[in-house]
Structures are given as structure tokens and as C-alpha cells.
Structure 1
Amino acid sequence: MSTRPDEFRAEVREWCRTHVPAGWRTRTGGDAEFAAFQRDWFQELRGAGFAVPHWPARWGGGLPVDEQVVLYQELAASDAPRLVLAFVAIHHAAATLLAAGTEEQRRRHLPAILDGELWVQGFSEPDAGSDLAALRTTARRDGDTYVVTGQKLWASGAAHADRCLLLARTDPTAPKRHGISYFLLDMRTPGIDVRPVRQATGESHFSEIFLTDVAVPATDLVGRENAGWQVAQATLAAERGMTMLELAERLGNAGFRRLLDTCARTGSLDDPLVADGLAAFDTEITGLRALCRDLVGTGEPGPADASIVKLYYSELLQRMTDFGVTVAGLAAHTELTRPASSSWESGAWMLDFVGSWEWTIPGGTSEIQRTIIAERGLGLPREPRPTR
């Protein structure tokens, strides 16, 4: 067995010791300070070659899967901030560009992402969430541009985004999945109005995006016109699969450690029910980590593998944070803030639990993931489609 992962672990651990910002969890600045901090932290990781380890080497990545696992383990163990604002850019946008973008689009945007270009995903709409193919935002061809009008909802990080992965209907007469096109929208274009949505946790991570006669150059079309549904599958596959490698390691390292700390602080480690719950979570986390490594390492995942991982992670996160609330007791209900650059296992258990429900919705709800697993993974008959 190669010693390289062990050597790499020592390198990452030493880098974290000298580079992870001290006291970042106690920062209480506003939204602008959070965005500036996230940009600075991204560049710190980029300088070390840790920002986009999952990208091809040509574009600044190229770490083997076993070293990616080591990197995420050590970042979590060192309580490093999570790349919240860059998440869509480095995962969803990059996966889409690499799978379906033109060479010119890749050359324009992948280096820009490394320089700090932020992206938001403009898929969901008020009447097109779980049924994404029902979207109503329209894009009408007018010479060398498309004129886009409509509304998007649940757009994570839209208030800071430079670009948007946008789905719009270009053929209103075609069957729902066949008349959609995929665009790379410049968020500075006239006609765009971003309105933050206040969440139950008190944060405004999501926004609504209103588009009124927004001009999108035809060069920002990804793939063929009316073939956007197929392109979107690359985005959704990244959301359900590749992103989970890091999240699984954070859940299994920092998240589980905080759960143990909470149990120790409340004197509940000797409770047989608590001990049994912790043992069950430890076993499930081990399975999740193995699933993620297999998904990323095989190179050719099965048609339902990403859905299995996404479903497993999101529902495990939900149950684990619920357990944290139970163990922490009434004190968990008095924590009204959580570190802005943390994951949803920050240790502010009530806020973490409320936020965990978010993960069972984007990228396809748990119900949709189960349908994908049944139909594509197990080969069961497809659900009946509406006749009208």
C-alpha cells in the first residue's frame, strides 16, 4: 500500500495548523463581512491546491480519491470553515461545464471560479420544485440573444452570485422535459431583481430571483436548444453525488465529535439508550463514507448511485441533529445563532435540526430519490404518468 496518503495527511494537518483562521466561529459581522471572509478563505485553500481537488488536473485539481478523503477529514478535524458561498460554483457549475459546456465556456468560467466567481442555481420555481419539468420561466430567441422572463425560488447564495445556472422554457409547445434550455446567466444583466427569503433559522441563505426581459447571449446556451433537461442531469448528479464526499467526512468527523461532546457535557454518555444511539450513528456514518468513496472512485457510477448517497446523507443528517437536540435538552432551544461558515452539524443543535430539513429537498426530494432508486436502480415499473 502506498504511503502517499499518510504523507499527505501530515502535510494537510500541518497546513491546517498554521492556516485555519482562529476564532472564526465567533465572528459576528454582517453579510458583507461573511462574504469577504469566504472569498479570503477560498483563496487560502486555492493557494495550497485544496480548493477544487475533485476537478481535473488541467483545471487545478487532480487529487486522487484517497487523498481527497484525507483532505476533507483533516479540514473537518481542524474545524476549518466550509466553503459555503463557493459551493455551487466549484461543484454544480464546474460539473455542468465539464460535462456539457463548450471549450470556450470552460476557458472563460473555470479560471474565473478559481479567481472567486460565485454561482447560484436557478432551477426551482414557485410551482416547479419537486416537479422541475413544470417550470414556467421562458426564454424567447431574438437574434443573437434570448429574452428571459420568469421567477426562480430557493436560490442559495443569490445575493452574492456573479453567475446563475438557469433553466428556462424555449419551446412552450413541446412536452415538458423537451422544451427546456440551459443558460449561463450573468447576474449583473439589467432586469434581474434578487430578494432574500428569511428562513426559520433566522438566516436568509435563499433568495427569489425575478427576471424581466433579461437578455442572455446565445453563446451562454449550454448544449443544444431545448436539450437543457439532459444538461441539468449533470448538475443534479453533482448535487446528489460528488458534493457528498466532503459532507460525509464533515458529518463523520466534526459532526460526530460535537455530538459526543454534547453527550459528555450533559452527562448522558452512561445512558444505555444514548450509547446505543451513538453506536448506531457511528455504524451508519461508516457506511455513508464507504458509499461516497465508492461513488467517486469507480468512475462509472450506476444510474441510481448518486440518489442513494444523497438520500442516505440527508436523512442521516436529519436524524443525527434531532438526536443532538434531544440530548442537549432545553439549552438547545436558547441558541439563536450558528457560525455562518459552518456545516449543518455546528453543534447549535436546534438550528442544525431545522436546517437539516433543507437537505431532503434540493437536488430532488427524498421521495424523488426513492423513485429514482426504484426505477433506475432496481428496474421496477415506472410510476404512472398523468394523462393530462
Structure 2
Amino acid sequence: MSADRPEELGAFRERVREWCRTEIPADWRQAQTGVGGAEFVAFQQDWFQRLRRAGFAVPHWPAEYGGGMSVAQQIVLYQELAAHDAPRLVLAFVSVHHAAATLLGAGTPEQRRRHLPAILDGEIWVQGFSEPGAGSDLAALRTAARREGGEFVVTGQKVWASGAQYADWCLLLARTDPEAPKRRGISYFLLDMRSPGIEVRPIRQATGDAHFCEIFLDEVRIPAENLIGAENKGWQVAQQTLGAERGLTMLELAERLGHAGFRWLVEEARAHGDPVVDDRLAALEIELTGLRALCRDLVERHEAGTAGPADASVVKLFYSELLQRMTDFGAELGAVGAHTVLRKPMSGGWESGAWVLDFVGSWEWTIPGGTSEIQRTIIGERGLGLPREPVVSS
């Protein structure tokens, strides 16, 4: 089927709409608010398999692994899932995007055969990149791996690892050559989270959630066949992993913000009947329209190979800071309204309608994947060709 033809794309949109009407649980937000970890995992796994049976779980994967949708179809799919307020694939996000992109881009045939079907069956992955003192400056990581025969022995600490308490496998960066320049001595591993020597500690956040975790590694042994890419060349592989945050993942988030999030904001504003409120609402709607158009344009140009080196940074910066402005406005409007609640649904996103919690949570979006300051530096240097920032030696 050629989804680029308007009539076929329209038929595909109608099929997705009908599926959404029958398959999205009507009360999932209420049912997922305040649940424990086991209930959250069970719901997420069930939702993933519903999407899988429909062919909607991994549309961006190659056809031989269960994907194969055109970019136009993927855009329609995410638009309709957002419009119908579908749950997010919170638990499988790293698995279907970061792990899959890494395996497809740098994995061996055996690694792909082992893990891609397992991800479709529900294998959960976590990203073990950031460390205390090596977050935005990821290349400063200090987790060390030394080779002993057919194994690597790893000791160190990771932090801000989303969903680590539920994970089966970890995408792990560790330093294998302490004498090399910091970007050249890093290797990339596939780590079985059931290995001896691993301790996971959830981090309680200001919103009450605990989806971030610390991972402690004490003499953890990783078979050499779990090295992905060449030894000491992990930095290059990591760029493929981080690249999975671009494009369609941002499109999905932008569409969700523009649909459910904005609808609730309009409902909150109606109770005020204030022209100043209406004016701010109109300004936000203009920004949301621009964000959604930017995301669609980025996806199309990325597929065509014409995306610029800083375009993804523009989208990430715009989304994260618009999210803050929008949730801040919602918190102002809803401070005495019905949406001032103390919990938000586990399977939702950053647009739950619990405005105070949404606003507090929105600040994390200006940090992961590169802080707003880093995004502006990338835009200036790579996008506008400005002089590079001076490197300050410690």
C-alpha cells in the first residue's frame, strides 16, 4: 500500500480511528492513577501487545521486524493516538526507540536476532548513560570496565535511569581505556540486569513519582559478545542511540501536548471568562501549531536526508520550554480548580491535566537529552555557524 496517496492515507487514518474507538480503555487515566509498580507494568505490557497485534507498536522498525510503515503513515498514527488520548508506551519507550536504534544501527546479526523479537514480546530496557558528574557532559563518565579473558568486569554508578527497577536489559556506557581522550576510551555494552553485582535504587521525585533510578555496579561481569560496536568506539554508537530521541518521538509528544493537554487548558480557561486569559490561550495555541508543524517538517526532512545538524535541537528546545509555559499557565488557572490533584496517571505523559504536578515535572524536560543551554549552543555552533565556545580546562 502506498500511504503517500491521499485516498489511501485517508483510509489508513479511518482504520486507526476505528481501532482507537474500540481498543483504548475509556477509564485508563483514572485506573492508572496511584497504582503500584506491578499494576503499572501489567497495564503497559497489555497496552503494548494491543498495539503490536494491530501493527502499531513499532511502525518505525524495518518491515522484517514488525514495522515498515511509511513516514506519512507514522505521522497519521501518532496524530490519531494523541487525538484519542491513548496511553503512552512509557515502559517500552527505551526498548522500541533507543535499544532498537542501537541494535539496528550497530548490533551484530546475533544481537538483533536475540533482542528485537524479545522486545516485541515485552523485554524492557533501560539506558545507563548519565552519572553523577557526567550528565550533560556525558563523555566525562567514570564507570570503568576492564577486560578479563572473554568478559568485561564493570564497576561504577549510573543515575537518572528511567524505569531501571523494571528493566531486563541495560544500554551501558563504560570507560575501557582510561588513558585515551575521554570520547575515545568508551565502550558500549548490552547488560543483563539480572547479573550479580547490580543494585537499583529508585529516586523519589518532587511529583511523587519514582521512575528515575540509580544503578550501582560492583564487579559486574559482561560477556564480550555483549559488546556492541568496537571496543573503545562506544561514543560513536551512543550517538545513534541518542538520535532515536529525534523525529517521530518528538512528533508524538508534540501531538499529545497539542491535543489532550490543550483541550484541558481550554476547559480550565472557560471557567474564567477573562479576555487576558483568552489572549494567553491564543498565544499558546499559535505556539503549539508551530511546534507541531516543526516536528512534521523535521520528520519529513530527516527521512529525505535534508535535515540540518541543529534542527532536532530546535525542536527539543521549543517543546521543552513550551511545555513549561503551558503547564505553568495551567497551574495558574487551576490553582483553585478541580485539576489540582496530588497524583497523576502512571501511563500518562507531561500533559495529564494535574497542572501543578505537570508544571513541576516539566522542568526535567529541559535537562535530559541535553539541557536547554546545550541545545542553544548546538543551534549557535552547528546551525548558525557561530564560533565554538571556548573549552575551560579544569
Give the TM bin, normalised by the shorter chain: over 0.9
How far apart, in 2, do the equivalents of 1:3 and 1:255 lie?
Answer: 30
1:338 matched to 2:341: no
How far apart, in 1, do the equivalents of 2:390 and 2:338 lie?
Answer: 44
Deviates more, 1:195-204 or 1:377-386: 377-386
1:325 matched to 2:321: no
The C-alpha deviation readout for 1:332-367, integer Å capped at 9, x for no partner, is: 784100111111001000001111111111111111
1:199 matched to 2:205: yes
How far apart, in 2, do the equivalents of 1:206 and 1:377 lie?
Answer: 32
How far apart, in 1, do the equivalents of 2:66 and 2:169 lie?
Answer: 20
How far apart, in 2, do the equivalents of 1:293 and 1:274 lie?
Answer: 29
Deviation at 1:58, TM superposition (A): 2.0
In the alignment, residue 348 of structure 1 is paired with which amino acid?
A
- 1:294 counterpart residue number: 297
How far apart, in 1, do the equivalents of 2:216 and 2:80 lie?
Answer: 40
Aligned residues: 385
1:35-74 → structure 2 map (5 Å cutoff): 35-74=41-80
Query: Which secondary structure does the structure 2 equivalent of 1:176 belong to?
Result: coil
Contact 1:69 1:249 in 2 (8 A): no
Contact 1:55 1:62 in 2 (8 A): yes
Contact 2:269 2:278 in 1 (8 A): no
Contact 1:241 1:307 in 2 (8 A): no
How far apart, in 2, do the equivalents of 1:126 and 1:233 lie?
Answer: 20
Distance 1:120 1:339, change over 3 A: same
Deviates more, 1:333-342 or 1:41-50: 333-342
How far apart, in 2, do the equivalents of 1:352 and 1:96 lie?
Answer: 31
Contact 2:35 2:346 in 1 (8 A): no
- Correspondence for 1:115 among 118, 121, 128: 121
The C-alpha deviation readout for 1:255-283, integer Å capped at 9, x for no partner, is: 1111111112xx22x32222222222222
In the alignment, residue 25 of structure 2 is paired with which amino acid?
P
Query: Which secondary structure does the structure 2 equivalent of 1:178 belong to?
Result: coil
- Correspondence for 1:25 among 20, 29, 49: 29
Instruction: State the TM-score, normalized to the length of structure 2.
Output: 0.95
1:165 matched to 2:171: yes
How far apart, in 1, do the equivalents of 2:380 and 2:324 lie?
Answer: 22
- 1:312 counterpart residue number: 318
How far apart, in 1, do the equivalents of 2:93 and 2:188 lie?
Answer: 20
Query: Which secondary structure does the structure 2 equivalent of 1:213 belong to?
Result: strand
1:283 matched to 2:286: yes
Query: What is the percentage of aligned positions where both structures have the same residue?
Result: 72
How far apart, in 1, do the equivalents of 2:372 and 2:340 lie?
Answer: 30
- 2:95 counterpart residue number: 89
1:221 matched to 2:227: yes
Deviates more, 1:153-162 or 1:285-294: 285-294
Deviation at 1:99, TM superposition (A): 1.8
1:9 matched to 2:13: yes
- Which consecutive residues of structure 1, in runs of 5 or more, have no partner in the other structure? none
Contact 2:340 2:354 in 1 (8 A): no
- Which consecutive residues of structure 2, in runs of 5 or more, have no partner in the other structure? none
How far apart, in 2, do the equivalents of 1:80 and 1:46 lie?
Answer: 14
1:309-388 → structure 2 map (5 Å cutoff): 309-331=315-337, 334-388=340-394
Deviation at 1:128, TM superposition (A): 0.7
Deviation at 1:50, TM superposition (A): 0.6
Distance 1:296 1:333, change over 3 A: closer
- 1:150 counterpart residue number: 156
The C-alpha deviation readout for 1:45-98, integer Å capped at 9, x for no partner, is: 000001111112221112122221221122122221111100111111111122
The C-alpha deviation readout for 1:158-192, integer Å capped at 9, x for no partner, is: 00011111110011111111111111111011100
In the alignment, residue 22 of structure 1 is paired with which amino acid?
A
Contact 1:318 1:353 in 2 (8 A): yes
How far apart, in 2, do the equivalents of 1:336 and 1:194 lie?
Answer: 26
Instruction: State the TM-score, normalized to the length of structure 1.
Output: 0.96
